[in-house]
Amino acid sequence: MTRVRRFALPLLTATLLLNLAHAAPPTAGMPASTATTAGFTTQSLDFDATEFAPEGLHATAYLPPGYPRGSDRYPVLYLNDGQDREAVALADTLARLTAQGTIRPPIVVAIDMPKDRIGAYGLSDRENGHSIVAQTKYGPVGTHAQAYSQWVATTLIPAVDARYRTRTTPDARAVLGWSLGALNAFNLGWQYPELFGRVGAFSPSFWLSADRTDADAVQRTRLAQRMVDSTGPRNGARWFFAVGTAEDRDDRDGDGVNDALDDIRDLIDGWNVGEATASDGTAPKGTGLKGLRQKGYSINTDHAALATRADVALYTLDGGEHNQASWARMLPAFLTWAYAVHAPPITATGRVDSYQDVPSLHVPARNVDIWLPPSYGKVPGRRYPVLYMHDGQNLFDPALSYTGIDWDVDGAMTRLIAQGKAREAIVVGVWNTPLRFQEYMPRQPIGKQWPAGAGDVPPIPVEAIASDDYLRFLVEELKPFIDATYTTAPGRDDTFVMGSSMGGLISLYAAAQYPQVFGGVGAVSTHWPIGDGLVIDWLGQHLPDPATHRLYYDHGTATLDASYAPFQARMDRLMIKGGYVEGRNWMTRSFEGAEHNERAWRDRLDVPLQFLLGAPAARASASD
């Protein structure tokens, strides 16, 4: 199969269609003065004195063009060393990238450094409530880092959220800094993952250590890497590191890489500390410190050459130095990484349009990939059915898939269309988030509390189940955008939804809750056992009309799927009771030996695709 790299093409419209909001006006807050800078409205914000900043604190808020007249909610970027905002060309860069349609503009809150910058900008131990102080030749660094970080988390952010129309989920809140300010930005992202889902660190001071006895001691005890090593990953967070090649000439470990770059690479890649051999030369002395890679993050170590969707991006600026001029050159790359309208392209057969962090009023933002069929744009007036699929990162590109194996939806669709076994259709891959269970677990079947013996249900409050909100995103925000941007056949008979495991449950729930929107469902390896099949009993009372809908189910017989057959038989009895006829508007298939994974779903994807998108003859052959 030939795969070609395609770049995302159409921009979101000026109104974005997905960022509609009906927010209340901003509440009264701190005193502010207003000005206009490069198309952004600025407001000056002053805060009361604190123990670490007896002189008080000052910030400047940058509000995107159209903010005063609109009702949209915006992501927020918090910026350490805000006094450098002009030196790094913040306003001009924001205005240029916004005018070009490259980014969805955020609100930016540039925080001027406290007078005791070296004390405030450091690392902290939030759990134990103290700063992590590094002794240096310049004096102690980070003596007030705990207090400053807590002030950002508990005073600044609530004040900004109260005053402005912000989006308040972690994916919509970022923090950026440089030098010591970058060290603290990293600290804020690591210590407060419920607040910050995006972190930018230019020339971060990752050289700070607990032991300065000699170069080896510094290498072994660098504080930021110790923090990563000793704590768990911050799921859903993304990290952007930037460093100039001319920032440093020192090479404390003699590996040929200057320390400025080496410190960042070690924090990212890990395992580079404590690996010297034992005295007899036979075994390593230690296991080394973990980095972000060992914590499960995907890594792109050459973002300057090729942007990807990795969790961690390392951007190396050729000739960059440790100064504001270089940070100004890094800023466009960071803003594009954090706020791009289009996600980096994927490797797929055919054309794929990709959108990054698509905003929603109801759920956290997420990427959306849109595969377009071979004839798209070539036949005037032609409209196409649309298949919405969950777990979008697993569908088209194995480099993005959780297991390294994708469903190969693009290849399967291309093949089936060429064989005349499936209609040409648009496929919309909607990425999941760290809230996958909450978003995919049908809410209405649960009732007021989890039933007794709910089995593998995770210990989360019932009120945290967000599937109704997720479906509102699909139906009220994403589908209108798709129908407005692409030449779709928008009616129920040409709109389908499919997913696997929990994705199967939410697909069935979508058709039950919105039978006027979705006319067909593909429920692959449906995870029925939750609550001993409580979704089955609810669906039996809420099946869509068999005269207008088609439902597909399947399961394997190995690994997790080995437990599914009795539950599916129970669902099948309810299908018959509900008026469905197998082979006509309903299909249930069992695949002997198939496991519960992407490889198995890829291997049998032709079957549900033909059932949903095939002509009657193709659907009949899929039943054989």
pLDDT score recorded for residue 356: 97
**What SS3 state is found at 224?**
helix
Q: Answer with the residue of higher pLDDT: 1 or 265.
A: 265
pLDDT at 331 > cutoff 70: yes
pLDDT, tens digit, for every residue of 540-551?
A: 999 999 999 999
pLDDT (mean) for 114-136: 97
Contact 387, 348 (CB under 8 A): no
Cβ neighbors of 432 (< 8 A, separation 6 or more) are 366, 390, 391, 392, 393, 439, 440
Average pLDDT over residues 500-513: 98
Which pLDDT score, from 0 to 100, does residue 279 have?
A: 47
| Predicted local distance difference test score (pLDDT) of residue 617 | 52
Q: Identify the weakest region by mean pLDDT among 30-44, 318-332, 345-359.
A: 30-44
Residue 237 has a pLDDT of 95
Coil, helix or strand for 137? coil
The pLDDT value recorded for residue 531 is 87
pLDDT band per the 50, 70, 90 thresholds, residue 439: very high
SS3 493: helix
Mean pLDDT for the stretch of residues 316-323: 97
The encoded tokens of residue 615 equal: 């002509």
- Does pLDDT of 563 surpass 60? yes
H runs (alpha helix) in 164-244: 180-191, 215-220, 223-230
Whether pLDDT at 622 is above 70: no
Question: Which secondary-structure segment (H or E) carries 388?
Answer: strand 386-389
- 286-319: buried (b, 16+ CB within 10 Å) or exposed (e) per residue? eebbbbbbebebebbbebeeebbbbbbbbbbbee
Q: What confidence tier does 11 reach under pLDDT thresholds 50, 70, 90?
A: very low
pLDDT at position 43, please? 96
What pLDDT is attached to residue 34? 66
pLDDT at residue 533 tops 60: yes
Over range 383-406, report the average pLDDT: 96
> Is residue 419 packed enough to be buried (19+ CB in 10 Å), middle (13-18) or exposed (0-12)?
exposed
Q: In angstroms, rounded to a whole number, what is the distance separating the alpha carbons of residues 508 and 541?
A: 13
pLDDT score, position 461: 86
Residue 241 exposed, middle or buried by CB count within 10 Å (0-12, 13-18, 19+): buried
280 CB contacts (<8 Å, ≥6 apart)? Answer: none
254 pLDDT more than 60: yes
- Strands (E) across 52-148 are located at 57-63, 76-79, 107-111, 123-125, 130-132, 134-136, 139-141
What is the C-alpha separation between 34 and 563, in angstroms, rounded?
A: 63
What is the model's pLDDT at position 285? 42
By CB atoms closer than 10 A (0-12, 13-18, 19+), residue 232 is exposed
Both structure tokens of 526? 């449906």
State the pairing for strand pair 366-372/351-358.
antiparallel
Averaged pLDDT of the chain:
90
Confidence band for 596, pLDDT divided at 50, 70 and 90: very high
Q: Which of 23-37, 305-319, 403-417, 469-483 has the lowest mean pLDDT?
A: 23-37
Q: What is the pLDDT of residues 38-91, one digit of tens each?
A: 689 999 999 999 999 999 999 999 999 999 998 999 999 999 999 999 999 999
Band (pLDDT 50/70/90 cuts) for residue 277 is very low
Q: Is the pTM of this model over 0.95?
A: no
Kindly indicate the confidence band of residue 288, based on its pLDDT and cuts at 50, 70 and 90: confident
Least trusted range by pLDDT, from 86-95, 279-288, 299-308, 354-363: 279-288
Check residue 276 and give its pLDDT. Answer: 46
pLDDT > 70 fraction of the chain, expressed in percent and rounded? 88
Going by pLDDT thresholds of 50, 70 and 90, the confidence category of residue 287 is very low
What average pLDDT does range 443-454 have in this prediction?
A: 78
Residue 370: HSE in the Cβ half-sphere, 13 Å Cα cutoff: 26
